[in-house]
Amino acid sequence: MQKSCFVVKNGCCSCEIRFLLLSQALSHFNIVNHFIHGLIISLRIPLLLSLGFEKPSAIQQRAIKQIIKGRDVILSTRIIETEMYFISCLFEHLFIFPSVQVRETQALILAPTRELAGQIQKVLLALGDYMNVQCHACIGGTNVGEDIRKLDYGQHVVAGTPGRVFDMIRRRSLRTRAIKMLVLDEADEMLNKGFKEQIYDVYRYLPPATQVVLISATLPHEILEMTNKFMTDPIRILVKRDELTLEGIKQFFVAVEREEWKFDTLCDLYDTLTITQAVIFCNTKRKVDWLTEKMREANFTVSSMHGDMPQKERDSIMKEFRSGASRVLISTDVWARGLDVPQVSLIINYDLPNNRELYIHRIGRSGRYGRKGVAINFVKNDDIRILRDIEQYYSTQIDEMPMNVADLI
């Protein structure tokens, strides 16, 4: 009989997650009504009545104003605010467009991973059910024929990964003549050298007046410098680095002298902690596969995910993890950006990330929507310098893990 890695405190069914996402996505509508005369959102819809509205953050309010004015916007915001914020803004912008009744693509959202693009699509579809907006996700690894069929039918909003979106544009299945807004989620990753040329390829097919919105928790200076190639006099709304670390997440490190000691340390943690769900990050696909095999050999139930897996397998793993059927996920940084599973309360960095920006994205997968979260970093002797660099960069403090860490989760 296999051991369960952690004991479940509270379940969270997919329906509850969906309502959480919808709540976040719709949360700014009260304030938007103060900015736009004549914009009416019917609160008679039972869904809206059931949700209740929370006031958006100050930085979100500033960005909403500028987006509605039609300005290009560069937004750096706290990780927990990022994705649901821009989706809500996008739908607000679609309501302002006079041509919603015309079934042509008017907004395009690009995301760096298939999982994030798929998550965006789910929120868009849920909102679209109530707002008569057609949405589709063009994601690599899925059926090309299905994308063509959906696009031929007509979609107001298309989300997707850059490669598949560009393929659909070249096939003339995704027509760009009516596109009014381009959103880059996790913009620093999107403009990294791995995606930069694909983004430029897509942009060249868009109408000259397309409004561009860039959103990410981290926007290094070199990324900001690139934006003059495809943005027009953008408004920059940036969060200070020392405000990025999430207040609800407690950060610790465990000193391990050698790489081979990490596995025993991880097993010891399993005997100590009682949590809902956890994500364990490794820096390479090979390490993910190795650690997954080792854990299963030790009779621990874990799932794993990385970019070399077939898309159907990745989708199945994500579905299990979101539903709570799988409680421990071992992953590369494909899972570090934008993905929301509210019941994740623990992040373990089996390997410290390769850059400082990835650290904040990784730990931001826990402590979502006001919940408590804990991040534990396994640190070898030669990793101490990297850890101190992260502390200095974000003006935060990462303490040695206390004996009572179980009480903090």
Domains and CATH numbers, the chain: 14-239 (3.40.50.300), 243-408 (3.40.50.300)
The residue with greater pLDDT, 272 or 399, is 399
DSSP strand E in 256-393: where?
277-281, 303-305, 328-331, 344-349, 373-379
The residue with greater pLDDT, 89 or 373, is 373
Q: Give per-residue pLDDT as tens, 248-293.
A: 788 999 999 889 999 999 988 887 776 678 899 999 999 999 999 9
- Look at residue 216 and tell me whether its pLDDT is greater than 50: yes
Which of 160-164, 311-315, 368-372 is least confident? Answer: 368-372
Q: Give per-residue pLDDT as tens, 77-126.
A: 655 444 454 455 555 555 444 456 778 999 899 988 888 888 788 777 76
Give the C-alpha separation, 14 to 129, whole Å. 17
The residue with greater pLDDT, 158 or 59, is 158
Distance of alpha carbon 290 from the chain centroid: 26
Segments in 171-283 forming alpha helices (H): 187-190, 196-203, 221-226, 262-272
DSSP strand E in 154-226: where?
157-160, 181-185, 211-216
Three-class secondary structure of residue 151 per DSSP: helix
- CB count within 10 Å of CB 284 equals 12
pLDDT tier for residue 66 given thresholds of 50, 70 and 90: confident
**What are the tokens at 96?**
């302002």
What would the mean pLDDT of 181-206 be, rounded to a whole number? 85
Give the C-alpha separation, 220 to 155, whole Å. 33
pLDDT of residue 246: 58
Give the C-alpha separation, 21 to 277, whole Å. 18
